[in-house]
A and B are shown apart, each in its own frame.
Chain A
């Protein structure tokens, strides 16, 4: 890879590493991965597969038990690494981030991070207003409202704006749409898409739902029991329905349908992936494979 922004080498993380062996739990085992600058990748796996543990290494919240993590050219676990700077560079949105909103107005909540960065008043103001607009909360309408009377989807985007206002180069989102309805999800992802295009931010999504990240991610990493078991473009990962199921994951329903049809003998090429592609193929008469 030309210019990876995040590299992990033989990353292993064991919780309670210095405890007796019965309490030790290997959460990550020998993870080697590279994330391209400006890309959007998704880390997929069931609960307990190690996804959240992995991303918490990207901003130094966790230190590797062994192995190295390199973010933007600097080793995260090196002696004297500047964690403060790292955490401003790597913005992290945790699960159910709306529960962390606490200020009286949307403006004050989003301004909290930039204020801690000791920026000038004018700079803070510009950043907050831009971040709100970027997250789909026009500042004229939302800045002075109390965050607690907004809808769930809006509250979550206030939290997103709070991270954006720190101008991160990497944005890590842990299960960002859990608990939102279809509309809230689609909306959240449409703003994320815009942020990706306009800001050139590298986006790391953590999800257990493959279908959800399909439109946004251009590369997927699949974790199972702390091991990196598969990586690839969504197209090629989704075609591995059986393997995914074995890891407790479900391919998107359309991929599942196509896998089922292939099993029953329809000659559907493996590169067929989207609804349009499937439609244009299946609307023509198909011949069943002849046994040779």
Chain B
């Protein structure tokens, strides 16, 4: 590829500092071991892995929440280890987490969306315009006057996304952002992320342990014990179920059904990974 990548992770290693309360000894287990990864502008990437595989640690290196012990991370050419780049990088790469309440500050929805812009001292007409437009993009315009605690879990996660979008980032990292939601709201958030990716060319890095959320990504990176162990399109990753099981990932039953039917000779495209797509393949 000719373009330089938006995020360029070069051979990074990272160990969390931990120590045992009773013995006082310092233990060290590296959370990332010599990981390299390039993310292009406009890409929809899924970081897949079970708890403790290192996927969140890797994601946190992309917006300077963590900086590597060895190796380096460049975001749009800026080195994350450089303190002076921190603000610029965080404006470019926004992050949302499992629990939206941790990043909701204000007592009214539209004030919360405006928060980061106000802190940066932008002119009020610009703030108003941006707030209105991002609330529209995530579909919470009708909730603008409500206190955040009156919102459902899915709506609060949309609010968190709006707060990040208001800064006009180039990339959003969603770190298990659907883990606390019910299945329907989960689908809605994933659909919203895809929509932002398509309509605004926003780069999305979605961190998840759910294979069904990875089905529509452009590229999947699977992690295990601090290393990247698989990389490819959803069709190529889902083609072999056994390695996924070894990564302790739950195979969605419709996908397992499709793979087993393909193995006994029914023609089902390996691209068919969602319930709707598999149904289309099964009904001639």
Asked if B182 and A253 make an inter-chain contact with CB atoms under 8 angstroms apart, the answer reads no
Q: Is B249 an interface residue (CB 8 A)?
A: yes
Asked if A254 and B184 make an inter-chain contact with CB atoms under 8 angstroms apart, the answer reads no
Q: Is A249 an interface residue (CB 8 A)?
A: yes
- Tell me, in angstroms, the Cα distance from A180 to B250 when the chains sit together: 13
Q: Is A224 an interface residue (CB 8 A)?
A: no
A-B contact pairs, 8 of them (CB 8 A): A181-B51, A209-B182, A248-B184, A249-B183, A260-B275, A260-B276, A266-B283, A282-B257
- Tell me, in angstroms, the Cα distance from A146 to B18 when the chains sit together: 14
Q: Is B248 an interface residue (CB 8 A)?
A: yes
**Per-position binary interface string of chain A over residues 245-258, scored 1 when its CB falls under 8 Å from any chain B CB and 0 otherwise:** 10011101110110
Inter-chain contacts of A254 with B (CB < 8 A): 253-254, 257
- Tell me, in angstroms, the Cα distance from A47 to B282 when the chains sit together: 35
Inter-chain contacts of A153 with B (CB < 8 A): 51
Query: Distance in Å from the Cβ of A247 to the closest Cβ of chain B?
Result: 10
Asked if A266 and B282 make an inter-chain contact with CB atoms under 8 angstroms apart, the answer reads yes
Q: Is B60 an interface residue (CB 8 A)?
A: no
Given contacts A182-B250, A250-B183, A278 and B52 within 8 Å (CB-CB): no
Asked if A182 and B153 make an inter-chain contact with CB atoms under 8 angstroms apart, the answer reads no
Q: Is A1 an interface residue (CB 8 A)?
A: no
Inter-chain contacts of A47 with B (CB < 8 A): 152-153, 182
Of B182, B249, B264, B282, the residue contacting A261 (CB under 8 A) is B282
Q: Is B200 an interface residue (CB 8 A)?
A: no
Q: A151-B52, A279-B260 are in contact. List 4 more A-B contacts (CB 8 A).
A: A182-B209, A182-B249, A183-B51, A208-B183
Inter-chain contacts of A265 with B (CB < 8 A): 283
Q: How many residues of B contact A (CB 8 A)?
A: 36
Given contacts A250-B184, A282-B282, A283-B261, A183 and B254 within 8 Å (CB-CB): no
Q: For the complex, would chain B's binding face be called helix, strand, loop or mixed by DSSP majority?
A: loop
Q: Is B252 an interface residue (CB 8 A)?
A: yes
Asked if A253 and B250 make an inter-chain contact with CB atoms under 8 angstroms apart, the answer reads no
Query: Distance in Å from the Cβ of A279 to the closest Cβ of chain B?
Result: 5
Q: Is A70 an interface residue (CB 8 A)?
A: no
- Tell me, in angstroms, the Cα distance from A218 to B210 when the chains sit together: 26
Q: Which residue of A lies closest to B21 (CB)?
A: A146
- Residue of A180, A210, A283 most packed against chain B (CB within 10 A): A283
Inter-chain contacts of A249 with B (CB < 8 A): 182-184
Q: Is A186 an interface residue (CB 8 A)?
A: yes
Query: Distance in Å from the Cβ of B102 to the closest Cβ of chain A?
Result: 14
Asked if A152 and B250 make an inter-chain contact with CB atoms under 8 angstroms apart, the answer reads no
Asked if A282 and B182 make an inter-chain contact with CB atoms under 8 angstroms apart, the answer reads no
Query: Distance in Å from the Cβ of B272 to the closest Cβ of chain A?
Result: 11
Asked if B179 and A179 make an inter-chain contact with CB atoms under 8 angstroms apart, the answer reads yes
Q: Which residue of A lies closest to B264 (CB)?
A: A283
Asked if A275 and B256 make an inter-chain contact with CB atoms under 8 angstroms apart, the answer reads yes
Inter-chain contacts of B256 with A (CB < 8 A): 275
- Tell me, in angstroms, the Cα distance from A183 to B282 when the chains sit together: 30
- Tell me, in angstroms, the Cα distance from A265 to B282 when the chains sit together: 11
Q: Which residue of B lies closest to A45 (CB)?
A: B182
Of A179, A186, A245, A282, the residue contacting B250 (CB under 8 A) is A186
- Tell me, in angstroms, the Cα distance from A278 to B182 when the chains sit together: 26
Q: Which residue of B lies closest to A183 (CB)?
A: B248
